[in-house]
Structure formats: C-alpha cells, structure tokens
Amino acid sequence: MNRRTFLQHGAKGAVGLSALSSNLLAVEAEKPLRVGLIGCGWYGKTDLLHLMQVAPVDVVGLCDVDRNMVDAASELVAQRQSSGKKPQVYGDFRKLLSDQSPEIVLVGTPDHWHCLPVVEACKAGADVYVQKPISIDVVEGQAMVAAARKYGRTVQVGLERRSTPHLLEARDKYILSGVMGKIGYIDIHSYYGSRKSFPAPVAPPAHLDWDMYVGPASWRDYHPKLHPRSWRDCREFSNGQTGDLCVHFFDLMRYFFDLGWPRRVAATGGSLMRPSDSNVNVHDTQNALFDYDGLQMVWTQKNWGMNPDKDYPWGATIYGEKGTLKLSVWRYDYIPNDGGETIRRDSVDESDQYPEDLVHKETEVFAAPGNRRQLLDFVRSRQQGKRPVADIHEGHVSSASCILANLSMELGRELRWDAENEQVIGDPEANRRLARKYRGDWVHPTPANI
C-alpha cells in the first residue's frame, strides 16, 4: 500500500477525526434520552457513566442477573443523575425493554449474551451501543446486522480505538502522510498472562441467577472466581483473548487501512502451557494470519513466559519501508529506519476535565477519552441519521474474522472466505460451525428469522 492509496481511502476517516478531536461538548436534546443498561459489570457501567458525561440522559432501567451488582449500579446512577432518581432494576432484559421502552440501550454483558439483547432492542425501537466482540459465533453477527438494518436502528460497537486521540494522531502523522512509505506487514499481539485453572465448582450464590447467566450457551457449572471478570476464560462464554484483545487492534488496522474481510484466515495454537487437568478451556497460545493479499496481519498470543516488549504487552506494530510504528492503548512510538530519533506520544489524560473518572474505581483513565468520543459519535450519529464510526457491520467483520481464526485453529486448516456470501469456500464442516447450538428453549437468531 502506498501514499496515494492511503490518502484516497483515508479521506473519509480523516474527516471523522477532525470532528472527534474537537472540544468534547455534550450533544443537545430537547429532553433527556431514555437509557437502559443490560449488563451492569465493569464496562457496562463504564459505558453508561461516560454516556452521561456527553449527553443528557435519564437512566430508566438497569438489568443484570446478579442482584447485588444491579442494585449497586442503581445506587451509583442515582448519585450521578441530576434528578437523583434511582433506575428500576431487572433480572431479565426482555422485561426492561417492555416496561421502560428505552430510546437507547447499552449492552455490556459477557460475549455470549450480546446477540439476543441487541436483536430484541432493535425490534423494540431502541438504538444500541454494544460492547465488542459483537457475537460468540458468525451467524449471530449476521443476525445483528440484519436486525439493525430491518428496523432502521443506529447500532454502534464499543471498538473505541477508532476514536482514541493518540492513535488517530499516529495514523495521520505517519500513515496517511506517507512518512512510513510502503507497508506490507502488521503484527498484533498480546503477552498478558492468563488463569491457570478455576477452583472446583460450587453452588452459585443466592443473588446470582446462574441459569440465566449461562442462557443460550452450553451448560457450565459455576466456579468461584468465574464471575464477574473471569468468564473470558470459559469457551462457553467467550472466544478467549482473540475475541477480547485481538479484535480491538485488528479492527483499528482495518479502519486505518480501509480493509474489509480478509481473503483467508489461518491459525495454529491451543492450550499448550496450562496443566493438563485445568478446567480453563480457552487457548493460551495462538498465531493467526489474516491475509489481505498485499497486506498481511498476524496475531501473536502468548500468555506465558517472558514478555518480549515490556512497554507493549498488548498492541500493534506496523512495519513500513521507512519506519516502524508501535501502538498501544497507553502510547505510540515511531521509530525511523534511518536511525533518527524515536518519537513517543502518551495517551490523552482528561481526568482534570472529568474528575469523576477517578471516583469510579474501575474506569481506565487512559481509555476514557476514546470511550467518551465513541459514545458521543453514537449519539450524534443517531441524531443525524448516519452510520456511526464503528457501525454494527464493521463490528461484525472484525468480530467474525477473529472467530474464524479460532475456527481455523480448531479445525487445523486455513479458511478461505467468500466475503459476498459470508461463507467459507469449499468447507461444509466449517460452514456448519459458523453458528453454534443454543441451549434449551433459546432460539439462535439468523438473518432469515429476524
């Protein structure tokens, strides 16, 4: 890819950058927007609190299968709302939708619970902000896109690296400008550690509706330490770090380079270093290739051993003919190939402007500027009737590509992708596994049954 290609493909994104980089002002509205939150854990609350900073809202309902968690969230929201009103709490998202008819729904559940609430919220007439990855399997993502389009809803995905100031600055200064020259290879990586095992299963606590927590996923007994934060170590509920961490920077690279679906995906790996009797069933090692012909992206996951780059345990490295650009949520470094001085920029800190970020102990201060801008873009997009920066289709392409990497690893072969029909070429077994079986009476959405 050369400078002319980047300038042509990047023009649209650069316009969005100028808007998002302006002074962050709350949108105006004649009356507060009626908002409901489904999933009141870490990032569900983070998204809601940041939405409250950029738009006038009336939080009318909160939903979680953990009664303690939803009650605590209701108390927190009452402290933040100017009205002091405590939102109604629910244990079933369908009841929240029918009782409250929210205009905006935030979905911050574990990954296996993204699809059904998004589809039902679209049917109920709400616009939706859903955390990444959008789905647990490929067909779920197809159904979510179909629901957004059929019901004419604005659906934004929490891939907020697309709205992160220091990352967009790096794009403009070193990629779109042509400073790096030709680029043909990108490394995305995670060297974070991971859980070795869960304690033995026990009965779930009385305040947690475990049957509803498992929902449409295949059954898994409750383990201490699994809830609220370690569900990503369960294949029933997530796609591991590929679905959690790879998707962020894979999506950002797609955005930077104006890329659609990869032509083929090939991955190897597995749970190579955990004890043989571990009850953690996601992989701890993976190498995945996303092939875009003239540009290749490689995902490297190694959750054990030494971290080869202490400043970039999770991030992306872009290799150009004139320099190397290293990106993370905390900073970027540009390293010229001619021996010139390395240029470093840290993430933007807006805690002086938004001191309440420091009060909510789980807020990632380094991520807050991007998260706020992503939510602001969502609200502005629904007002203006345009597609948001991380529209549901973009989230689907990025999420499904990462899901295909796991499928390739599990099948032990590369997958060639038909982007038009969203099918694996010449591989009936792989296509059968694009949708997984739902448990019990839960019905798997498809584009045909929306």
Share of the chain above pLDDT 70, in %: 94
Whether 10 has a pLDDT exceeding 50, the answer reads no
Same domain, 150 and 257: no
User: For residue 124, what is the domain's CATH number?
Assistant: 3.40.50.720
Angle at the Cα of 156 (from 154 to 161), degrees rounded to 5?
A: 155
Same domain, 343 and 301: yes
User: For residue 196, what is the domain's CATH number?
Assistant: 3.30.360.10
Per residue in 203-222, is it b (16+ CB within 10 Å) or e — as a string?
ebeeebbbeebbbbbeebeb
Same domain, 209 and 287: yes
- DSSP string spanning 370-407? HHHHHHHHHHHHHHHT---TTBHHHHHHHHHHHHHHHH
Task: Quick: pLDDT tens for 396-410.
Answer: 999 999 999 999 999
Whether 158 has a pLDDT exceeding 50, the answer reads yes
Task: Quick: pLDDT tens for 314-343.
Answer: 999 999 999 999 999 999 999 999 999 999
Whether 275 has a pLDDT exceeding 70, the answer reads yes
Number of domains in the chain: 2
Distance CA 64, CA 71 (A): 9
Task: Quick: pLDDT tens for 76-88.
Answer: 999 999 999 999 9
In a domain, 73, yes or no: yes
Whether 4 has a pLDDT exceeding 70, the answer reads no
The pLDDT mean for the chain works out to 93
Kindly report the number of other CB atoms within 10 A of residue 418's CB atom.
Answer: 13
Non-local CB neighbours of 354 within 8 Å, separated by 6+ positions: 53, 368, 372
Task: Quick: pLDDT tens for 37-78.
Answer: 999 999 999 999 999 999 999 999 999 999 999 999 999 999
In a domain, 101, yes or no: yes
Average pLDDT in the 118-136 region?
Answer: 98
In a domain, 5, yes or no: no
Same domain, 240 and 328: yes
In a domain, 2, yes or no: no
Same domain, 146 and 267: no
Whether 5 has a pLDDT exceeding 50, the answer reads no
pTM, 2 dp: 0.94
Task: Quick: pLDDT tens for 220-229.
Answer: 999 999 999 9
In a domain, 368, yes or no: no
Residue pair 229/377 in contact by the 8 Å Cβ criterion: no
Give residue 25's pLDDT: 54
Same domain, 139 and 257: no
Task: Quick: pLDDT tens for 238-256.
Answer: 999 999 999 999 999 999 9
In a domain, 9, yes or no: no
Domain ranges, residue 268? 165-362+396-449
In a domain, 56, yes or no: yes
Task: Quick: pLDDT tens for 344-402.
Answer: 999 999 999 999 999 877 889 999 999 999 999 999 999 999 999 999 999 999 999 99
Pairing outcome for strands 88-90 and 285-292:
unpaired
Distance CA 34, CA 103 (A): 5
Kindly report the number of other CB atoms within 10 A of residue 98's CB atom.
Answer: 12
Same domain, 206 and 237: yes
Give residue 106's pLDDT: 99
Residue pair 135/115 in contact by the 8 Å Cβ criterion: yes
Same domain, 134 and 268: no
pLDDT tier for residue 26 given thresholds of 50, 70 and 90: low
Same domain, 292 and 406: yes
Same domain, 135 and 198: no
Give residue 27's pLDDT: 79
DSSP E strand boundaries for 141-225: 155-157, 183-190
Task: Quick: pLDDT tens for 281-298.
Answer: 999 999 999 999 999 999
Same domain, 156 and 214: no
Strand, coil or helix: what is 76?
A: helix
In a domain, 261, yes or no: yes
Same domain, 145 and 181: no
Give residue 245's pLDDT: 98
* Sign of the torsion formed by the C-alpha atoms of 245, 246, 247 and 249: positive
